[in-house]
Amino acid sequence: MNSESSGVRDTILDVGQRIMAGKGFSAVGLNEILVSAGVPKGSFYHYFGSKDAFGEALLARYFEAYLAEMDVTLRNPDATMASKLLTYFGKWRTNQSFDDCQGKCLAVKLGAEVVDLSEPMRLTLKQGTAGIVARLAEAIEGGIADGSLKVEGEAGQVAQSLYQLWLGASLMAKIARDAVAFDAALATTRRLLQLPG
């Protein structure tokens, strides 16, 4: 794919991510994305075989960027692992704002909606979230090793619990339109990682 083709594809994905983060997958038609992107309809099918294929590509690209940003946060050489994890969850809170996540909360927005619509999108979500949990588990193991945190139980199970906790908090923050769920999630996170409040 040449750079011009890649640019058009990226534009469609960028615009689609922004719109779908606000409205969801099913509520957005291809025409809305293409008009906003300034791209003719025929171009869409040059890059994506269907709306589902577009959704799969959208989620794959979202998780690729998300995991890369997560790696930067968790690999900061100037902080303990406990501090890095708290920074990660602080960024989560900021990016999952109930007012406007600007495409940064796509897994939360689309997760429950698309898992029953498309098996490829479900599998992309499963793979992406597994990558997040694996990084959290590795970070927890690193925190135990550097002495900055302690956990009861296996790091992978604690990581899974933390991810589910924050995913649920994101949904509750959207329902309540306040940050109370994030405050509770942070307090529980500190307890699970045995960090001072």
What is residue 103's predicted lDDT score, i.e. its pLDDT? 54
Q: What is the arithmetic mean of pLDDT over 90-109? A: 75
What is residue 174's predicted lDDT score, i.e. its pLDDT? 84
Q: What is the arithmetic mean of pLDDT over 23-51? A: 92
Hey, what are 153's tokens? 């139980």
What is residue 197's predicted lDDT score, i.e. its pLDDT? 73
Angle at 193 between CA 126 and CA 139, to 5 degrees: 50
d(CA 139, CA 79): 12
Q: What is the arithmetic mean of pLDDT over 49-70? A: 95
d(CA 124, CA 132): 13
Is a pLDDT exceeding 90 seen at residue 3?
Answer: no
What is residue 94's predicted lDDT score, i.e. its pLDDT? 87
Among residues 18, 44, 14, the alpha carbon closest in space to that of 30 is found at 44
The residue type at 141: E
What is residue 43's predicted lDDT score, i.e. its pLDDT? 86
140-182 per-position pLDDT tens digit: 999 999 999 999 999 999 999 999 999 999 989 888 989 999 9
What is residue 110's predicted lDDT score, i.e. its pLDDT? 86
C-alpha count within 13 angstroms, C-beta hemisphere, residue 72:
6
What is residue 81's predicted lDDT score, i.e. its pLDDT? 97
What is residue 4's predicted lDDT score, i.e. its pLDDT? 59
* First-residue to last-residue Cα distance in the chain: 51
CB 121 within 8 A of CB 52: yes
Q: What is the arithmetic mean of pLDDT over 48-64? A: 95
106-127 per-position pLDDT tens digit: 888 888 889 888 999 999 999 9
Question: What pTM, to 2 d.p., does this model score?
Answer: 0.91
What is residue 109's predicted lDDT score, i.e. its pLDDT? 82
Angle at 187 between CA 21 and CA 196, to 5 degrees: 135
Q: What is the arithmetic mean of pLDDT over 27-52? A: 93
Residue 6 or residue 134, greater confidence: 134
